[in-house]
Structure 1
Amino acid sequence: MDYLWDGFIIFLGTENMDLTHKFYSKSLGFASYEENECKIYNIPGGGKIGFTCEINPYQKINPIITLITPYVDSLYTKFKGEGICIKEKPKYCNDKYYFHMLDPNGYTIEIQKKINYSI
């Protein structure tokens, strides 16, 4: 059976594309490309995040972007040292070890390690 989908891009709004680009390309290390007025970031391991100035980033419903990694503690230290807004120290909950931080647009980024099963 052929797969219907090749992947996904979640598009989010931004009021400051330059600051957003610096965070996603420099701090997180994602490669990017431009499409129309959008910047799209490739996530190693699969998936894409796109940003556009055409979406209001201050909507009541604010998505969480979850990034899976085995390096939760070292990334916590790195981002804390960069002055990124971190909401709590890494913690365990059920099948995951994670912490939350905010990107320049106020979106919640969850840095997460899955425990006891594959993604």
Structure 2
Amino acid sequence: MGFYPTTDLAATHAFYVGMLGLTLARDQGTCHIYGVAGGGFLGFCLREAVTLPPTVVLTLVTEDVDGVYEALQKACVKIEAAPKHNAEYGIYHFYAQGPSGERVEVQRFEKKLQS
């Protein structure tokens, strides 16, 4: 699990729960921990300032990339470009901007993962 900084915990909660469908697993006051697919967790902690390099990307995997794209568009979330196929990595994806400026990738694997 990783923790990321946010300047607005309420906006972060609205984005990740209300728009992306994550569930709040634990509210620690100044930190929220969200459950993601496969049993993983993603945490955000309240900070006065946020500085993340553009190479830091939070990737969320879903089968409904187009549905998430449309929902974020309707909510006027900043999106880099429409979803597209990436043959090199075998994914279908797009990038959006989270409430604290974090880069969020929403993707679907084109082939099922090997078990």
Instruction: Please report the TM-score for the alignment, with normalisation by the length of structure 1.
Output: 0.83
Larger radius of gyration: 1
Give the aligned partner of residue 75 of structure 1: 68
Q: Any conservation in 1 of the 2:52–2:102 contact (CA below 8 Å)?
A: no
Instruction: Classify 1:60/1:77 alpha carbon distance in 2 versus 1 (closer, same or farther; 3 Å).
Output: closer
Counterpart-to-counterpart distance in 2, 1:73 and 1:109: 15
The amino acid of 2:9's aligned partner reads M
8 Å Cα contact 2:62/2:106 also seen in 1: yes
Cα distance in 2, alignment partners of residues 15 and 46 from structure 1: 26
Moved over 3 A (4+): 59-62
Measure the CA separation in 2 of the matches of 1:80 and 1:86. Answer: 7
Alpha-carbon displacement from aligned partner over 1:21-61 (angstroms, at most 9, x marks no partner): 11112111222121253111111332111111248421436
Percent identity over the alignment is 28
Bigger mean CA deviation after superposition, 60-69 or 91-100? 60-69
Q: CA RMSD in A?
A: 1.9
Q: Is there any run of 5+ residues in structure 2 with no aligned partner, and where?
A: none
Query: Structure 1: 5+ residue runs without aligned partners?
Result: 1-8
Q: In the aligned structure 2, how far is the partner of 1:60 from the partner of 1:66?
A: 15
